[in-house]
Amino acid sequence: MIRRLVGFAILLVVLGLPTAAGAGSHYTPQTGDNFHYYETVVLDGGTGNYSGYTENTFVNGSVGVTGLAANGTVNASYQNSNSWRNNMGQSESWNSAGRFGFSPNTFAYVNGTDNQTGYTSPVYVWFYINNALAEGTPFSLLNTPMNVVSRDYSYALGGSQYVATIFTEGNGSYQRNDDYGVFTATYNWKAYFDPGTGYIVGYQYTEQDTDGATAGFTWTDTLYVTSTSYTLTPAAAPPASSTSTPAALSYVGLVVAVVFVIVLIIVVAWLVYRSRERRPRQLPQHAAPGNIGFGAPPPPYAPMGAPPINLTPSQQPVPQVVLRETVKVKCRYCGNLIDVTDKVCPFCGGPQG
C-alpha cells in the first residue's frame, strides 16, 4: 500500500490545541465502523537508470473498529491483499492482517499500527480526522502536516460517482534510502474525508524522486473506498468549464500540437535507445512484501480489477431463528397428547383421523 516513508517529523500535536480542535464536537468511532478500499500504486516517468521502467501495485483492503477500550482507545483490525508486477515480467503477491489501536482524541496510533513503518512518533492515523475542523485548520496524517482546504468538496469516488467530502492537502519531502536507491523525494498529498464521521473517502499521493543527477521516477498512489458502514452523501459534479477558443486559433493550436508530438516521439525514442545501452543489468528490486501496505480484502481478490463501489452502508447480518410449533390433540383411545398430523397413536397404536 502507500509507501509514505516520510523521514522527517514536523508534527502538530492536536490534543489541547485550540487551532486543531475546531468548532464543536467531532464524531467518535463506534464498534462496527468499517470501510473497504481499492488502491493502486504506480511507478513511472523514470529517468537515468529508471528510464523505461514501470511497476504497479494493486491493493484490496479494509479497516474496521472492533471495540472500545475502557481508557478510550479505539481497537481496530486491518487486512489487505496485494499484487505487484513490473514491465520486466516480475511479479509477486502477499497478504497482511493484524490489530492495532488509536486515540479518538489525539488521532494518533497508541497500540501498534496497521502495518505503517518508517515514521517518527507520534504517528497520526491516515484514515480518520476530526470532522469538526474548520477550513484553514492544520492537522497531521502519519507524519505529514496537512490543512483543511474545503469542507464542501465534490469528490469523484472511483472517478465516477460524486460524494460530498472534506478536502485536505499537504506537502513534504524526505530522503529515500531503500531498495529503490538513495533519492530526494518531494510529494503532494490530497486526502478526502466524510464530513459526517471523519473517515477516509479517498486520496491521491504524488511523489517525485531524484538523485540530483540523472536518475529518478514518479510515484503515484491513489486510493478510494468501495464500501462503508457509514453513509456517504451524494454530490453534484463540479460545473464544466465554459471557456471557448476561436476556430482559427484552435486550428493553429492543433497543427502546433501535432508537430510537437512528432518531435517528442522522436526525441523520446532516441533517449530510450541510449538509456538502454547504458542501463546496468540489475534494476532496483521492489521492496519486500509488507513494506507497502495497510488495510482488508473483500474476497474474492481480483489482482488487476477494481471492485464495484457500493454506496449502501454495510452492516453485519442479523441472525434469524425459525420456531416451529405443532398442534397437539388427545388420542381417542388412550387419551395421551399426540401431534395432530399423526396417523397412528405412538402410545397405543390406535388409528387416528
- My answer on whether 325 and 225 are in the same domain is no
- My answer on whether 89 and 183 are in the same domain is yes
Percentage of the chain modeled with pLDDT above 70: 71
- My answer on whether 33 and 151 are in the same domain is yes
250 pLDDT more than 70: no
Whether residue 9 is contained in a domain is answered as no
Query: What is the mean predicted confidence (pLDDT) over 238-266?
Result: 62
- My answer on whether 219 and 338 are in the same domain is no
**How far apart, in whole angstroms, are the C-alpha atoms of residue 290 and residue 137?**
33
Concatenating the DSSP letter of every residue in 82-97 gives EEEEETTS-EEEEEEE
Residue after which a domain boundary falls, among 215, 242, 269: 242
- My answer on whether 144 and 232 are in the same domain is yes
Measured at the CA of 248, the angle between CA 243 and CA 254, to 5 degrees, comes to 80
50 three-state secondary structure: helix
What's the whole-number average pLDDT of the chain?
Answer: 78
Percentage of the chain modeled with pLDDT above 90: 55
Whether residue 117 is contained in a domain is answered as yes
Whether residue 5 is contained in a domain is answered as no
- My answer on whether 154 and 66 are in the same domain is yes
Residue after which a domain boundary falls, among 195, 210, 242: 242
The pTM of the full predicted model, rounded to 2 decimals, is 0.67
Q: 16-20, 182-186, 310-314, 337-341 — which is least confidently predicted?
A: 16-20
**How far apart, in whole angstroms, are the C-alpha atoms of residue 292 and residue 338?**
67
Whether residue 12 is contained in a domain is answered as no
- My answer on whether 78 and 199 are in the same domain is yes
- 166: domain CATH number? 2.30.230
Q: For position 263, what pLDDT does the model report?
A: 66
Contact 158, 45 (CB under 8 A): no
Concatenating the DSSP letter of every residue in 227-265 gives EESSPPPB-PPPPPP-----HHHHHHHHHHHHHHHHHHH
Domain that holds residue 225: 18-242
Residue after which a domain boundary falls, among 242, 264, 296: 242
305 pLDDT more than 70: no
Which has more pLDDT, 34 or 117? 34
- My answer on whether 192 and 339 are in the same domain is no
**How far apart, in whole angstroms, are the C-alpha atoms of residue 292 and residue 335?**
76
209 three-state secondary structure: strand
**Single-letter amino acid code for the residue at 290:** G
**How far apart, in whole angstroms, are the C-alpha atoms of residue 130 and residue 194?**
10
Whether residue 236 is contained in a domain is answered as yes
Whether residue 306 is contained in a domain is answered as no
- Which is it for strands 337-339 and 328-330: parallel, antiparallel or unpaired? antiparallel
Query: What is the mean predicted confidence (pLDDT) over 202-221?
Result: 95
- My answer on whether 70 and 216 are in the same domain is yes
- My answer on whether 234 and 348 are in the same domain is no
Q: 95-99, 203-207, 283-287 — which is least confidently predicted?
A: 283-287
Query: Which tens digits make up the pLDDT trace of 66-115?
Result: 999 999 999 999 999 999 999 999 999 999 999 999 999 999 999 999 99
Q: For position 93, what pLDDT does the model report?
A: 96
Query: What is the mean predicted confidence (pLDDT) over 311-325?
Result: 51
221 pLDDT more than 90: yes
Which has more pLDDT, 24 or 232? 232
Whether residue 218 is contained in a domain is answered as yes
Query: How many domains, in total, are found in the chain?
Result: 2
Count of alpha carbons within 13 Å of 23, Cβ hemisphere only?
A: 4
Q: For position 320, what pLDDT does the model report?
A: 38
- My answer on whether 69 and 208 are in the same domain is yes
- My answer on whether 233 and 350 are in the same domain is no
Q: For position 243, what pLDDT does the model report?
A: 43
Whether residue 249 is contained in a domain is answered as no
